[in-house]
Amino acid sequence: MLEALAVSIPIGKQAIVIGAGIGGLSAARALADYFEQVMVLERDTMPVAPIHRVGTPQAQHVHGLLASGLNALRALFPNFEQDLVQAGAVPLRAGLDVRVERPEFNPFPQRDLGWIGYSMSRPLLEHTVRQQLKGHRNIIVRQQCRAENVLATSDGGRVRAVQCENRDGTSELLTADIVIDASGRGNLTLALLKSTNRPRPEETVIGVDCHYTTALIAIPPTAPTDWKGVFTFPEAPASTCGALMLPIENNRWIATLGGRHGVSASGEWEGFLRYAKQLRTSTVYDAIKHCTPPERLPQFGFPESVWRHFERLPDLPIGLLPLGDAICRFNPVYGQGMSVAVQEASVLHRLLNARSALGDPLVGLSAAFFQEAVPLIEAPWAIAASLDFIYPQTRGERPANIEGAHKFGRALNRIAARDPAVHKLTIEVQHLLKPRGALLTPELVDRVQAEIAAVC
Ligand SMILES: Cc1cc2nc3c(=O)[nH]c(=O)nc-3n(C[C@H](O)[C@H](O)[C@H](O)COP(=O)(O)OP(=O)(O)OC[C@H]3O[C@@H](n4cnc5c(N)ncnc54)[C@H](O)[C@@H]3O)c2cc1C
């Protein structure tokens, strides 16, 4: 439950959010309790229906929402879950409804782990969040409005305005007490740091060279009944070909075929099917081979994951806060980005609540924010990095003892296949509900070591 449902003390007149993606919309909700007006600037035309828009090209591909992200959205928007279901999101019982095919397990044991998640297109998710904001009269989403510059006071110490270009081409200066850069790229934040003589943040980069090709397919009446979705992992490191196919609204599958390091599925249907046929199992191919070909198969290349370490800078201009992908772009394969962005918005809300009675609540806000956001990012980043470096072509600093970590992971999976409690724990960690340390209890480490010894 949000802190502000109890008390909210106004902090300022106008908050500006750049970008109406998942991070920006969630941040707007967090700000709405503390600022008289929250203006969200979005360069796109916002569709009235849950359909694709150009500003988020990634939204045409499969977008899983982790349980931690769902929880954070529920906390920000009390009606979120019910509205999502009403809009057509497909409930999935964790551990049971998605057939997970790993090299040693085809499939991994399917069992009900006790909670429900939802599967839907990214446009539907975003649309549902936009609908939630309608209940907040002080939030204005200004569409076809491109933020061009964030301006600081003459001493560079504090943000004061955002310069934007409106749909008719006119330029406008909007004053702001706080500016959240949820533009995905974060270029305006970098430009402001430069113009106020601050250094650029250091970056950790992992070159993953992922490639996605996606088909939206009407689910045929002959679809298997023992699964609703399927996740086919590649035989790593020999192959990078994998697939994730999930059910979404309007009785469709969203099927994404992925590859890495130069391997990718074709953007035409025959080639797409050929790639599906070459996957480690025939599950996806068998399910889609007789389906009606979609009109188009969008593709997306994701060269590298990038984490900008704003937390290492001596300071940021007071009132400036990057959020979501503007801080960290995760490898999409692990489905973490949206969930982390929403959790960051929840952190923002909590901090505004805790600081609202201070003389100048915005002084020190960014430092306090990064203190909480960094651990939120660290966990998914480490999970992704460990798995990315299974491939020798992955670029960047390999985590220490990565071979040991992979051996540990494989043994843990074997235990999870046999033991429902361990299965549940691994999925909770993957969904960022529990810290990675939960997998390192002395008892579990002993069991994993015994498993490793037994296999050697
Ligand atoms: C192929 C792919 C698949 C993915 N799959 C998943 C997944 O399964 N699960 C998951 O959780 N995450 C996934 N992600 C990551 C997810 O898309 C991002 O983490 C998430 O969208 C970040 O939200 P955001 O609000 O920071 O940025 P975005 O959602 O990208 O939103 C940025 C917004 O800012 C607007 N904008 C940009 N510049 C300006 C400007 N100057 N002025 C005004 N508006 C501007 C854009 O139009 C856009 O609407 C995937 C990413 C990719 C690339």
- Other CB atoms within a 10 A radius of the CB of residue 343 amount to 24
Distance from residue 56's CA to the centre of ligand 1 (Å): 6
pLDDT of residue 414: 97
Distance CA 9, CA 355 (A): 9
Mutate to test the pocket of ligand 1, among 25, 60, 63 (most ligand atoms within 8 A of CB): 63
Q: Render each residue's pLDDT in the chain as its tens digit; 456 residues.
A: 565 454 577 899 999 999 999 999 999 999 999 999 999 999 999 999 999 999 999 999 999 999 999 999 999 999 999 999 999 999 999 999 999 999 999 999 999 999 999 999 999 999 999 999 999 999 999 999 999 999 999 999 999 999 999 999 999 999 999 999 999 999 999 999 999 999 999 999 999 999 999 999 999 999 999 999 999 999 999 999 999 999 999 999 999 999 999 999 999 999 999 999 999 999 999 999 999 999 999 999 999 999 999 999 999 999 999 999 999 999 999 999 999 999 999 999 999 999 999 999 999 999 999 999 999 999 999 999 999 999 999 999 999 999 999 999 999 999 999 999 999 999 999 999 999 999 999 999 999 999 999 986
Distance from residue 55's CA to the centre of ligand 1 (Å): 8
Mutate to test the pocket of ligand 1, among 17, 26, 40, 42 (most ligand atoms within 8 A of CB): 42
pLDDT of residue 3: 57
Are the CB atoms for 42 and 55 separated by under 8 Å? yes
Atom 10, ligand 1: residue with shortest CA distance: 335
Distance from residue 301's CA to the centre of ligand 1 (Å): 14
pLDDT of residue 322: 98
Residue type present at position 99 = R
Distance from residue 21's CA to the centre of ligand 1 (Å): 6
- Taking Cα atoms as reference points, which of 316, 339, 294 lies closest to residue 432? 339
Residue type present at position 74 = R
25, 30, 32, 35 alpha-carbon torsion, rounded to 10°:
-120
pLDDT of residue 9: 76
List 73's β-bridge partners, or say none.
none
Atom 38, ligand 1: residue with shortest CA distance: 183
Atom 39, ligand 1: residue with shortest CA distance: 183
Atom 4, ligand 1: residue with shortest CA distance: 332
Tell whether pTM > 0.85.
yes
- Taking Cα atoms as reference points, which of 334, 323, 298 lies closest to residue 206? 334
Distance from residue 96's CA to the centre of ligand 1 (Å): 29
Distance from residue 415's CA to the centre of ligand 1 (Å): 36
Distance from residue 122's CA to the centre of ligand 1 (Å): 10
Are the CB atoms for 202 and 309 separated by under 8 Å? yes
Atom 51, ligand 1: residue with shortest CA distance: 332
Ligand 1 first shell, C-beta below 6 A:
18-24, 41-44, 55-56, 58, 61-64, 146-147, 182-184, 212, 300, 302, 324-326, 332, 335-339, 341
The DSSP bridge pattern shows strands 252-260 and 159-165 to be unpaired
Distance from residue 325's CA to the centre of ligand 1 (Å): 7
Are the CB atoms for 210 and 218 separated by under 8 Å? no
pLDDT of residue 455: 82
pLDDT of residue 258: 98
Distance from residue 63's CA to the centre of ligand 1 (Å): 11
Atom 35, ligand 1: residue with shortest CA distance: 19
Atom 46, ligand 1: residue with shortest CA distance: 55
- Taking Cα atoms as reference points, which of 212, 335, 331, 218 lies closest to residue 267? 212
Atom 19, ligand 1: residue with shortest CA distance: 337
Distance CA 244, CA 226 (A): 16
Closest ligand 1 atom to 164 CA: 42
Are the CB atoms for 415 and 108 separated by under 8 Å? no
